[in-house]
Amino acid sequence: MISKPHLIDRFIRYVTTDTESDPNSSTTPSTEKQWDLAKALVQELKDIGLSEVTIDDNAYVMATLPSNVDHHVPTIGFISHFDTSPDFTGANVRPRVIEHYDGKDIVLNKEENIVLSPKEFEDLLLYVGKTLIVTDGTTLLGADDKAGITEIVSAMEYLVQHPEIKHGPIKVGFTPDEEIGRGAHKFDVAKFGADWAYTMDGSQIGELEFENFNAAGAKVSFKGKMVHPGYAKGKMVNSMYLAQKFIQALPAHETPELTDGRDGFYHLHHMAGQVELTELHYIIRDHDTQRFEERKQLMHQVAKDLNKALGIERVSVEIKDQYFNMREKIEPMMHIVDLAKEAMETAGITPIIKPIRGGTDGSQLSFMGLPCPNIFAGGHNFHGRYEYVPVESMLKATEVIVNIAQMAAK
């Protein structure tokens, strides 16, 4: 398989290119700097020998590895996104390679006393003796999802260099703006031309996922009435107190920090208010379609009940669906999950099949006609300073891609 130093060099080159996306931008890509890596990938895909390498006006990159067999084989795709999360800065990433991790605390930043510790992140102990790539404690790393890009490019390079490995036609695609929910919005499924695909966008080695949250975003607005506080009795309406009542009316135990597995939640992620106007921004998540609809209905009902108690409409709720559970589209084609499972087992990996507590480009692509399960890319603790990735996990993910290509040709 591809050499470890070569893979590390490729990954570091990607993560040190700032590609943070911006949810407040209306362009695609949402930030100009995403073009830097997108254009570099175009050149790299050409350099390693892929054909039909294209980049469109929105920075979507596609390429083809032609079949080297003389019989029909389904066309398989592999997809990753090159933007990083705006939740934590991805500028000036300074990755550090730690050889033979000893299972102890890793001091990321001595000056600021930032420590990556197995006492807080127990999964570190899975990688004792492995090579880890970590941050300097001031930025995220960008393994989400530049690990996925590294693995796809490395696997394609390996297949080009080893024509004795038989495979059908393989498509690769790299997208902008996945972290702000738009990664698949302008993806040209017909142009891509795959029968199915895999996003390389999971976390821990072995993860294989074909179901994800149904997702919606909600904005709840509260209209108050400002009066001089000295003369406010019976007149002032404080919108922030109305917002407090709304928050308390939702199930207190159904929040991200108190749920796991297939549990859904309401997540209040932003709030801003004054007496006259307060706004709450929620994300609503559930794997079950009926419960998902019930969650949205509850938010509307709470607003209705508050307005009824007030005798005037001061609370309004706007809810927009974001993406849906791809299980509905994957289950009729479970052989594509079975293929990935077999490819992992062949690589000596125990598959971890579980629902995604989030979404990927694959969830939207599946509803756009491209069934797209999700495979591990190897990183942990995404979107923050404690992000890290074991190099051996990236090497194994690369091997899984090669195995899928080879097995599909049989």
Mean pLDDT, all residues of the chain? 96
Identify residue 255 by its one-letter amino acid code. T
Closest C-alpha to 283, from 252, 242, 315, 321: 321
Structure confidence at residue 150 as a pLDDT band (50, 70, 90): very high
pLDDT (tens digit, 9 = 90+) per residue, 319-377? 999 889 999 999 999 999 999 999 999 999 999 998 888 777 888 999 999 999 999 99
**What's residue 212's pLDDT?**
92
Q: Which two tokens stand for residue 238?
A: 């404080």
Point out the residues that are catalytic.
83, 178
The CATH 3.30.70.360 domain(s) of the chain lie at: 214-323
From the options 3.40.640.10, 3.40.630.10, 3.20.20.140, 3.40.50.720, give the CATH code of 4-212+325-408: 3.40.630.10
Q: What is the pTM of this model?
A: 0.88
Which residues belong to CATH 3.40.630.10 in the chain?
4-212+325-408
pLDDT of residue 237 exceeding 80, the answer is: yes
Using an 8 Å Cβ cutoff, are 361 and 81 in contact? Answer: yes
Strand partners, 12: none
Q: Taking a C-beta distance cutoff of 8 angstroms, is the pair 180, 22 a contact?
A: yes
For 248-313, give the DSSP string. HHS-TT-SGGG--TT--EEEEEEEEE-SSEEEEEEEEEESSHHHHHHHHHHHHHHHHHHHHHHTS-
Torsion, CA 208, CA 338, CA 4, CA 48, rounded to 10 = -110
What is the CATH architecture of 214-323?
2-Layer Sandwich (3.30)
pLDDT at 2: 87
SS3 190: helix
Helix (H, G, I), strand (E, B) or coil at 318: strand
Residue 1 has pLDDT above 80, yes or no: no
